[in-house]
Amino acid sequence: MSILAGMAEWGDEFTRLRRDFHMHPELAFAENRTSETIARLLQGWGYRVHRGLGGTGVVGSLSQGTGRRSLGIRADFDALPIQEATGASHASRHPGKMHACGHDGHSAILLAAARFLAETRGFDGTINVIFQPAEEIGRGAAAMIDQGLFALFDCDAVFGLHNMPGMKTGVLGFKPGVFWAAIDKIDVRLRGFGGHAALPHLSRDPLVAGAAMVTALQTVISRNVDPLDSAVLTVGAFHSGEAGNVIPDTADLRLNLRSFTPAVRAVLVDRVRAIVSNHARSFGIEAEVTVTPGCPALVNDPDETAFARRTAAEHFGSDGVADLERPMSVSDDFALFLANRPGAYVVLGNGEQSYPLHHPSYDFNDDTILPAASYWVKLAQIYLA
């Protein structure tokens, strides 16, 4: 009997579990209900469970036979501060919180795989299923690693996946080397001198200065980054003032930077600092720049990626795999796992008609749960043969 056939009766059960996670989304480092549900299930299936790693993280460890190899598979489980607009019967019950990135599905997939591995024991070694908090703010992986993840649960390799809207349902995508981008965040506070809108000459307007900065910052990519490299600079928030007849005292900008190499990453930060500082000076205002470094670029180990791809092709056939030629400008702190252990991150098709990630109408495709879980089982069985 195939792995997927052995799971066939679980379809409704794990769809209900995924939708339960979806109805009860929890933000970074506050995933208490989700964490407890995961820990309870793993413990019931016979895993040695470690709670609270990295705050709300959960690791389940299961050993079988005499093999000394160990494998880690990771899923994230935090939600986003988004008001859901799916209209689904399983929509979020918590206003302003939503699983708009599919972490509910990632967790359901790994739980289904964990159950099958526990019930069949078709491996020789140790499987560590890692459920990570706070991926959306880029801090969960670091928290788990800093608190001893790999000291407590040594892994010879680590693997993870992320669903990808726009890809055919269930297809797995692979790319060795640099795959997902590094991310950095920059907050800018501009301090001017407010006043009456009718008397602008008596003020130092931080709003106009900020508007000029937004325009100038668009030149960083086009004029400071090698055209053969890739980078993204987005000003995602600009807040200043409350009334049309008042010049405000302050303005706040929030920036998001994406890059693929350390050199380009440094250029982006340096140029943002310079543009903000010099524009502020030219407008006679003060500027405070706060840089919050995020995770590095996600780099897949070539050998482990080739292994993961071979496993998928063997399991699903050639139509079930896709070779991705280009990196993706999204980011994931699984990059830190791969900076500590060899492994690979793969993408899972969520459907060609799926709403994009982080959209209020996005929903995870439940049809992918058991096939993706069967892939994790197959990968574990081969790796821990």
Residue ranges of the binding site: 101, 103, 136, 162, 358
Q: Which helix (H) or strand (E) holds 208?
A: helix 206-217
Q: Which helix (H) or strand (E) holds 32?
A: helix 32-44
Query: 333: which 2 tokens?
Result: 């702190």
DSSP 8-state class, residue 328: B
Query: 123: which 2 tokens?
Result: 């491996």
- Are residues 128 and 73 in contact, defined by beta-carbon separation less than 8 angstroms? yes
- Are residues 372 and 161 in contact, defined by beta-carbon separation less than 8 angstroms? yes
Task: Pick out the residues of the known binding site for Mn(2+).
Answer: 101, 103, 136, 162, 358
> In terms of Cα–Cα distance, which of 274, 288, 285 is closest to 206?
285
Tell me the C-alpha distance between 116 and 4, whole Å: 10
Q: How many helices (H) and strands (E) does the chain have?
A: 12, 16
Query: 366: which 2 tokens?
Result: 């439940």
Beta strands 48-53 and 70-76 are unpaired
> In terms of Cα–Cα distance, which of 217, 213, 220, 256 is closest to 205?
213
Tell me the C-alpha distance between 376 and 110, whole Å: 7
Query: In one letter, which amino acid is 218?
Result: Q
Length of the chain (residues)? 385
**Sheet strands (E) in 133-284:** 157-164, 172-174, 177-180, 182-191, 195-196, 231-239, 246-247, 250-259
Tell me the C-alpha distance between 64 and 188, whole Å: 53
Tell me the C-alpha distance between 151 and 146, whole Å: 10
